[in-house]
Structure 1
Amino acid sequence: MSRFPIWFTIAIGVAALFFLAVPFGPGTSTGVQAFFSILMGAFITGGAAVILSFVRDIAGLFRRREAPTPARPHAPPPDLSPARKTAVRKVVAAMAEHGVFAPETPDPALFFPGVADMDESVKPDTILAALAELDYYHPGTDPAHFMANLAMLDSKTEQDPDYLRGQIADLDRLAGGALQIADVVIDAAWPPAERIMPVRIAMTVNGAPLAIAYDGDVKYASSHIQHALALRLDAAKAGRRFAWLWTDQGAWLSALPDRAVEALNAALKLKPQGRCVWEWVSDAKPFAAGDTP
C-alpha cells in the first residue's frame, strides 16, 4: 500500500496544530494563517519523511555489512567419461604403489572433476596438476594430506636466496632424515645487476662439505641444487632416491624407492619422447640459466 495517504494525514494534522498553536501577528487574515500553516505542515512532514528514510537506509547498510556473505556455489563439476575414470584409477594406483602419495593415498574420484577440465590423456602430470587444486572442487579437502612426499620446483619464478634456501629445505624434508643438512650459506647478490646471476652455495651434508656453483637465471630455475643433493642421497644408500617429473610449471620432486622410476614408467607407458616421464634426478645432467633439462 502507498505511504502517501499516511504522510498526507500527518501533514494535515501538523498544519492544524500549527494553525491553532502558533500565534500570528495582529491583523493576519485567516486565509494567510491557513496558507502558512499548510505550508509548514507540508515542510515539517516532508522533512521528517526524508530523515526517516535516510535513517532506514543507513540501518539497512549496516545490517548488510554485518550479515555474512553467502558463499557462491561452484558450478556443477564437469563429467568425466568412464574410460577416463578408469585411466585416473590406473595412474593413481601406480603412483600410490610406488610411494608418491603420503601420508595418505587419495581416493581417485577426488580427481575426476579436475581431470575433466583438462583436454589431455591421463598421465601423472594430469593427476599432480589436479592434486594441487584439489580444494577447488572439494572445499575443505586439504591437498597436504597427500603431498608429504612431493615438492614443486617452480621453473618460472624469481630465484632469490630465500627461494633457493626453500629448495634445499624441500629436499631435506623429502629425504626423510637420510640427509643431515647444516651450515647453509648462499652467496647470490639480490637483486642482481644482470639477468644471469652467479650463485655460490656452501653447506654440510651428512658431515661432509658440499659446494655448489653455477650461473643461474634470475627468473628461471636451475637444477644444480637438486642434482648435488640427489648424489648425496644416492651415496647414503637409504633405499630412496630423488625422482622428478617435469611439467610446464616446473618439476614435481619426490623421494621414491629404488627401481620405482623404471616401474612407474613401464606401468604407465611413459617414454622420454612423450609429454612426461619420471627420471632419477642424479641420472640427469644438471642445468642452469633456464636451459631445458
Structure 2
Amino acid sequence: MSRFPIWFTVAIGGAALFFLAVPFGPGTSTGARAFFSILMGGLITGGAAVILSFLRDLAGLARRRAAPQPPIVPRAPPPDLSPARKVAVRKTVVVLAEHGVFAPEVPDPALFFPGVADMDESVKPDTILAALGELGHYHPGTDPARFMANLAMLDSKTEQDSAYLRGQIADLDRLAGGALQIADVAIDAVWPPAERIMPVRIALTVNGAPLTIAYDGDVKYASSHIQHALALHLDAAKVGRRFAWLWTDQGAWIAALPDGAVDKLNAALKLKPQSRCVWEWVSDAKPFAAGTAP
C-alpha cells in the first residue's frame, strides 16, 4: 500500500478532530468551520510528514556511517621500463647533471622511469625534461622545483600577452643569477590585438644600459627576440655562463650553462642538428618572431 492513502486518512482524521474539539467564535458557519478544519488538518499532517522524513534521513545517515566502508583501491603500479631504457635514463641524467642543468638538487634517475616508460620514444634530454614535470604524479610529494632552479620553459604555443612577456624576462633574470641587472621594464603591446600579428616594443635597462626590443610577434606563438637580446648581454658580462636552449614540441627549455657545455652535452648524448633535439647557445641562433620555427 502506498503512503498517500495513509497520510490522507490521517489528514481527514486531524481535520475531523479539529472540527469537533476546537471552539470557533459565535456566528461561525458550518462551512467556514469545515474549511478551516480541513486546512489545519492538512498543515498538521504535512508538518508531521516533514519531521518524520527528516528523522528517517538522520537514521539513514547514522546507518551509513556505522556500516563498514569499502576498501581503498590502491593506485595502479607505475609502468615498467626496460633495462636498456633504464640505462639510457641514468646516462642522460648524469650527463645533464654534470653540466649544471639540474639545480639546486640532482634528481635520482629512477624518479624518471615511470614517466619515460609512458613515452614511446628513444631516451634523449627532451624525454627527461618532459618527464620532469610528471614527477609529482608518479611520486606524490616529490616537487619538481627541487631540480629546476636552472631551468625555464619558453612555451611556444600560448598567448603572448604583456604578463607572459614580462614573465619571460623574469625567468632569464633568475637564470642569470645576478649577472643581469634588469630594471625599468616597460612593455608596449596592445592586448587583445586587432590582428594575428602583434607589434611588440619592450624598453628596459640591462646592467645600467638602455635596451629596446622590438618585433612583430604572433598573438599565439612565442618569439625569441627577448631571449636572444638578453643572451647577448649575458655573453657580454663574461661570467663564464651563457644561455642555452633545447627545443621540443612544447617549446624551449632554457638553462644558463658553463662555457663549452653545449658542445660537450651534444657530444656526450650523441645529439646532432638533424636529431630530434639538440642543445644550442641562444645568442648563436638567429632570433625569430611571429611563430616562425628556428
Instruction: State the TM-score, normalized to the length of structure 1.
Output: 0.79
Superposed CA deviations along residues 14-48 of structure 1, whole A, max 9, x for unmatched, are: xxxxxxxx9xx9xxxxxxxxxxxxxxxxx9xxx79
The corresponding residue for 2:56 is 53
Q: Residues 243 and 51 (structure 1 numbering): CA distance in 2 closer, same or farther, change over 3 Å?
A: closer
Aligned-partner residue type, residue 54 of structure 1: D
CA contact 1:74–1:137 (8 Å) conserved in 2:
no
Superposed CA deviations along residues 254-285 of structure 1, whole A, max 9, x for unmatched, are: 00000000000000000111100000000000
TM-aligned CA deviation for residue 75 of structure 1 = 1.6
The corresponding residue for 2:143 is 142
Secondary structure at 1:202's aligned position in 2? strand
Secondary structure at 2:200's aligned position in 1? strand
The corresponding residue for 1:264 is 265
Superposed CA deviations along residues 126-161 of structure 1, whole A, max 9, x for unmatched, are: 000000111000000000000000000000000000
Q: Distance in 2 between matches of 1:58 and 1:235?
A: 71
The corresponding residue for 1:18 is none
Q: Distance in 1 between matches of 2:97 and 2:147?
A: 10
Q: Residues 52 and 238 (structure 1 numbering): CA distance in 2 closer, same or farther, change over 3 Å?
A: same
The corresponding residue for 2:88 is 87
The corresponding residue for 2:220 is 219
The corresponding residue for 2:208 is 207
Q: Distance in 2 between matches of 1:199 and 1:71?
A: 54
Q: Residues 261 and 59 (structure 1 numbering): CA distance in 2 closer, same or farther, change over 3 Å?
A: same
Q: Distance in 2 between matches of 1:154 and 1:58?
A: 50
Q: Residues 288 and 60 (structure 1 numbering): CA distance in 2 closer, same or farther, change over 3 Å?
A: farther
Q: Distance in 2 between matches of 1:289 and 1:212?
A: 14
Q: Distance in 2 between matches of 1:60 and 1:230?
A: 67
Q: Unaligned stretches of 5+ in structure 1?
A: 1-21, 26-42, 65-69
Aligned-partner residue type, residue 90 of structure 1: K
Secondary structure at 1:167's aligned position in 2? helix
The corresponding residue for 1:120 is 121
Q: Unaligned stretches of 5+ in structure 2?
A: 1-16, 21-44
CA contact 1:185–1:201 (8 Å) conserved in 2:
yes
Superposed CA deviations along residues 35-74 of structure 1, whole A, max 9, x for unmatched, are: xxxxxxxx9xxx797664233235568x69xxxxx98743
Q: Residues 166 and 50 (structure 1 numbering): CA distance in 2 closer, same or farther, change over 3 Å?
A: closer
Q: What RMSD over aligned residues (CA atoms) do the two structures have, in Å?
A: 2.3
Aligned-partner residue type, residue 268 of structure 1: L
Superposed CA deviations along residues 216-244 of structure 1, whole A, max 9, x for unmatched, are: 00000000000000000000001000000
Q: Distance in 2 between matches of 1:166 and 1:56?
A: 56
The corresponding residue for 2:275 is 274
The corresponding residue for 1:234 is 235
Secondary structure at 1:53's aligned position in 2? helix
The corresponding residue for 1:100 is 101
The corresponding residue for 1:184 is 185
CA contact 1:178–1:233 (8 Å) conserved in 2:
yes
Q: Residues 223 and 51 (structure 1 numbering): CA distance in 2 closer, same or farther, change over 3 Å?
A: closer
Superposed CA deviations along residues 70-96 of structure 1, whole A, max 9, x for unmatched, are: 987432101101100000000000000
Instruction: State the TM-score, normalized to the length of structure 2.
Output: 0.79
Q: Residues 286 and 104 (structure 1 numbering): CA distance in 2 closer, same or farther, change over 3 Å?
A: same
